[in-house]
A and B are shown apart, each in its own frame.
Chain A
Amino acid sequence: QVQLQQSGPGVVKPSQTLSLTCAISGDSVSSNIAAWYWIRQSPSRGLEWLGRTYYRSKWYYDYAVSVKSRISINPDTSKNQFSLQLNSVTPEDTAVYYCAQDKTGAFDIWGQGTMVTVSS
């Protein structure tokens, strides 16, 4: 059974970088049939897809237009995990951040969520 365990700080200062990690158990980040996502949720923006990475003989990355200039999602095959980095954060980036797996064309498995507050 696949499980996703998120880790990372709950508070980030404005203009700094938000970094979160999603550790995978029960599957491989290099799976040829899965994709790995970051999604966030806030009262003002609702659920918002941020981006994904997946492996199909090589690594692919897709990012939401709203964050494309500031985001990076990176797989770490040695630790079987993937990470989110969001640069130059503002209070608008305050949200609950989720990682998720897609094997059916939907978000089948979700991480537990991490509340991240952008505040000095």
Chain B
Amino acid sequence: QSVLTQPPSASGTPGQRVTTSCSGSSSNIGSNTVNWYQQLPGTAPKLLIYSNNQRPSGVPDRFSGSKSGTSASLAISGLQSEDEADYYCAAWDDSLNGVVFGGGTKLTVL
């Protein structure tokens, strides 16, 4: 049971905009920034969004993040087939004094 809650699956068609959520509590998302990771099959996770809404160099601006209260969202616009992957949210938890992750959302491009 992951500390952060994510829907297990999401889907969309090419070109569509999809969003996925990440729900936490006051000790993690409510008081710290949220990071998002993309994991393609058989590979290590890759940083997609940091500090709620910042994109590392090389990440397309089709990916965007936001945070409100104890929840965060990842949006992907102009969906492409190569976006099919697992997406994880993460944040520092002040109560646990460590990083907590969501269970991941599997994105399917139909």
Residues on A close to B: CB < 8 A? Answer: 37, 39, 46-49, 51, 62-65, 98, 104-108, 110-113
Contact count band on B: 20 to 34
* In the complex, chain B residues 25-81 whose Cβ is within 8 Å of any chain A Cβ: 33, 35, 37, 43-47, 50-51, 54, 56
B44 and A112 contact, CB distance less than 8 A: yes
- A112→B51 CA distance, assembly (Å): 24
Q: Does B90 contact A (CB under 8 A)?
A: yes
7 smallest beta-carbon distances between A and B, as pairs: A106-B50, A106-B35, A49-B99, A110-B44, A47-B101, A104-B50, A64-B98
B98 neighbours in A (Cβ, 8 Å): 49, 51, 62-65
CB within 8 Å of A: which residues of B?
2, 33, 35, 37, 43-47, 50-51, 54, 56, 88, 90, 96-101, 103-104
| Contacting pair B100 A49 (CB below 8 A) | yes
From B43, B45, B50, A105 is in contact (CB under 8 Å) with: B50
Residues of the B chain whose Cβ atoms lie less than 8 Å from the Cβ of A49: 98-101
Residues of B within 8 A of A106 (CB): 35, 47, 50-51, 90
Q: A107 contacts which chain B residues (CB < 8 A)?
A: 35, 37, 45, 47, 90
